[in-house]
Amino acid sequence: MGATTDPDMDSAVNRDERRGPSLKARAVGFLSRREYARSELARKLARYTEDPSAIERMLDDLEREGWLSTRRFAESLVHRRAEKQGAARIVQELRQHGVDEAQIGELRESLRATEYERAWAVWAKRFAERPADRAAYAKQARFLAGRGFAHDIIRRVLGDERED
């Protein structure tokens, strides 16, 4: 005899989820693993409640208590991405997460200060030698541009005879 499905199974699962950790406990659990943007954390928590205003109130509380910080999230994201990506790509991701433009401006300046060194390191890890012809130059330039490095930086990396 085959297995039958219980029509009340969905409501049983919902009851079990409600008996699980509170919304705040789930949020603190997520935040203990890594920093989150407010919108990202709200999206993750939405599956655990049907009341969006409860999520907003709880997020406000977490910000007041210092658990949730857009500044820490932005700095964490920059730290994780800076080794492999350029300022343009990182700034785009910060905007997608709703980070304040003033804070993005500060972070962009710090990224630009090290952009050449980071682009050089990314290029050197991928390519063994400078481009020999236009096709190789275009390929290497696309590689760096795809990672968000500025065109002037790309030209310097591909044309500069740097001594290590």
pLDDT attached to residue 128: 79
Non-local CB neighbours of 44 within 8 Å, separated by 6+ positions:
30, 36
- The span from the CA of 87 to the CA of 90, in Å, is 5
pLDDT attached to residue 160: 54
| Residue 53: strand, helix, or coil | helix
pTM of the predicted model over 0.85: no
Q: Which domains does the chain have, with CATH numbers?
A: 22-68 (1.10.10)
Locus of tokens 């993005």: 104
Q: Average pLDDT by consecutive 10-residue portion of the chain (164 residues)?
A: 49 51 92 93 91 92 94 94 95 94 94 95 92 94 96 90 46
Distances (CA, A) of 93 to 8, 108, 164: 42, 12, 32
